[in-house]
């Protein structure tokens, strides 16, 4: 649905009025439709040289300029500061100097990426303190940023530099428009052999909202998509797959024969390279008033069924080697929410599940969660006006996200060369004030 305040604040009279009254003026975010799928240059690189050769190779691939020193009067599309070698308090001042001098040079919807190391890999307490401190620094930078600018911290383990290319591409590009203030750990991953055949993805809850955006984006990116939704959504599902050329699977994931039917479908497809658990429901009510059916229904759709399907697919070898599993969690699972004890448990449950399954899955398979904040869908359109407005504005970007923002993040996590991000929870919430 449309965001009337955002449209008004960016109109002629609205811009003048919000300026005169000192009201916030959130900028419409630049996504791939407006800005393309690769980083917008020029990029400025500062700090240690650990990622220098990788950054130069990537910049060449993306077709953008990369500067090793700020040029006078240049406006930058992105700033990358490699803080990997900072091991003491004195070194932290380099971080201050770099951003102090360059942060105003970023154009609208610019990107800031700080590279660090896992704090526990440092040799002493001061080193661990400073590397851990990067988290507070980046989150503050993201909160100070304006005009759609975002900031993230990538903690790259020693030896995992090559595995960071997919994440650098994502976080420096318009694809990550609604992701800010995130800390992503990247571990070493074996290089993946690329096959000529199309990668196959299963997406659940696919007929509308975030699922529909995923089906469209993955199809555009060349995936063969199996779009699953409940029988009640069959009309919409069929219309969608006919329009874009995907395959429909009409299945209630909580049905008694759901595992059997999915395994059959997966075998026929020759297994999946990616599985996106997006289907979800809410049955909101304070706990004292909540019926057992409301509790059980949410638990089954959001956690029990997708977990059982995941185990069955992994057990039958139907997630292909180097496969990617992505679960859609929620900010509610991180911060909790009044009236959502059932939903919050189910969504927080995925955070535990991905951590455990990341270790257990094997065969180069990764499993991660995305946690959307306020996304403009039918689910959020039904929220009462005042709460909806608060949800939209209480984040660093001053607006709600679009379904495509969650789809883009799932696509990045599903990339074949993104084997270094595993067991992570990445928020797609414009750095919501909720839940830290």
Ligand X SMILES: NC(=O)c1ccc[n+]([C@@H]2O[C@H](COP(=O)([O-])OP(=O)(O)OC[C@H]3O[C@@H](n4cnc5c(N)ncnc54)[C@H](O)[C@@H]3O)[C@@H](O)[C@H]2O)c1
- Interacting residues toward ligand X by CB under 6 A: 204-205, 207-211, 229-230, 233, 252-254, 278-281, 301, 328, 330, 372, 374-375, 377-380
Smallest gap from residue 375 Cβ to ligand X (A): 3
What length is written for the chain? 436
How far separated are the first and last CA of the chain, in Å rounded? 27
Task: State the chain's maximal CA–CA distance in angstroms.
Answer: 66
Taking Cα atoms as reference points, which of 374, 353, 368, 348 lies closest to residue 423? 368
Asked if 307 and 279 count as a contact pair (C-beta separation under 8 A), the reply is: no
Q: Pick the closer one to ligand X by CB: 207 or 322.
A: 207
The tokens describing 282, both together, are: 């809410």
According to DSSP, the residues that pair with 46 across neighbouring strands are 81
Taking Cα atoms as reference points, which of 80, 16, 76 lies closest to residue 48? 80
Q: Pick the closer one to ligand X by CB: 318 or 410.
A: 410
Q: Pick the closer one to ligand X by CB: 106 or 326.
A: 326
Q: In whole angstroms, what is the distance from residue 372 CA to residue 328 CA?
A: 8
Smallest gap from residue 352 Cβ to ligand X (A): 17
Q: Pick the closer one to ligand X by CB: 308 or 379.
A: 379
Q: Is 343 a catalytic residue?
A: yes
Q: Pick the closer one to ligand X by CB: 200 or 427.
A: 427
Q: In whole angstroms, what is the distance from residue 362 CA to residue 201 CA?
A: 19
Query: Parallel, antiparallel, or unpaired for β 200-204 and 224-229?
Result: parallel
What is residue 221's three-state secondary structure?
coil
Smallest gap from residue 21 Cβ to ligand X (A): 29
Smallest gap from residue 372 Cβ to ligand X (A): 4
Query: Parallel, antiparallel, or unpaired for β 247-250 and 200-204?
Result: unpaired
Which of 5, 76, 272, 343 is flagged as catalytic? Answer: 343
Smallest gap from residue 179 Cβ to ligand X (A): 14
**Which alpha helices (H) appear in 87-124, and where do they start and end?**
89-102
- The catalytic residue positions are 343
């Amino acid at each position: 649905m449309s965001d009337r305040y955002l449209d008004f604040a960016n109109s002629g009279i609205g811009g003048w009025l919000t300026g005169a009254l000192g009201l916030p003026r959130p900028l419409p975010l630049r996504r791939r439709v407006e800005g393309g799928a690769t980083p917008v240059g020029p990029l400025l690189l500062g700090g240690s040289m650990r990622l220098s050769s990788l950054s130069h190779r990537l910049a060449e691939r993306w077709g953008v300029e990369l500067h090793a020193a700020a040029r006078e009067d240049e406006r930058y599309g992105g700033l990358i500061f490699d803080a990997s070698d900072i091991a003491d308090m004195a070194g932290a001042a380099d971080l201050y100097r770099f951003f102090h001098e360059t942060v105003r040079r970023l154009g609208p919807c610019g990107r800031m990426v700080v590279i660090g190391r896992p704090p526990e890999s440092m040799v002493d307490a001061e080193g661990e303190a400073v590397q851990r401190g990067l988290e507070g620094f980046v989150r503050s930078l993201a909160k100070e940023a304006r005009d759609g600018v975002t900031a993230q911290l990538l903690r790259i383990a020693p030896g995992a530099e090559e595995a960071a290319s997919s994440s650098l591409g994502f976080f420096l590009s318009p694809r990550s428009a609604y992701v800010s203030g995130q800390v992503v750990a990247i571990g070493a991953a074996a290089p993946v052999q690329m096959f000529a055949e199309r990668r196959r993805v299963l997406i659940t809850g696919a007929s509308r909202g975030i699922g529909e955006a995923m089906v469209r984006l993955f199809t555009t990116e060349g995936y063969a998509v199996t779009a699953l939704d409940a029988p009640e959504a069959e009309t919409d599902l069929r219309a969608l797959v006919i329009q874009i050329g995907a395959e429909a699977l009409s299945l209630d994931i909580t049905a008694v024969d759901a595992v059997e039917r999915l395994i059959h479908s997966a075998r026929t497809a020759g297994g999946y390279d990616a599985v996106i658990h997006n289907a979800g429901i809410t049955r909101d009510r304070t706990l004292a008033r909540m019926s057992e059916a409301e509790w059980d229904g949410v638990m089954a759709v959001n956690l029990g069924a997708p977990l059982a399907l995941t185990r069955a697919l992994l057990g039958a070898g139907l997630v292909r080697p180097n496969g990617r599993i992505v679960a859609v969690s929620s900010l509610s699972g991180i911060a909790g929410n009044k009236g959502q004890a059932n939903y919050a448990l189910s969504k927080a449950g995925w955070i535990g599940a991905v951590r455990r399954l990341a270790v257990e899955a094997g065969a180069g398979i990764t499993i991660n969660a995305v946690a959307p904040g306020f996304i403009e869908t039918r689910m959020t359109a039904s929220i009462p006006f005042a709460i909806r407005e608060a949800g939209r504005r209480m984040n660093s970007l001053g607006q709600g996200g679009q379904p495509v923002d969650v789809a883009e993040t799932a696509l990045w996590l599903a990339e074949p060369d993104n084997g270094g991000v595993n067991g992570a929870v990445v928020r797609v919430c414009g750095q919501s004030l909720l839940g830290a």
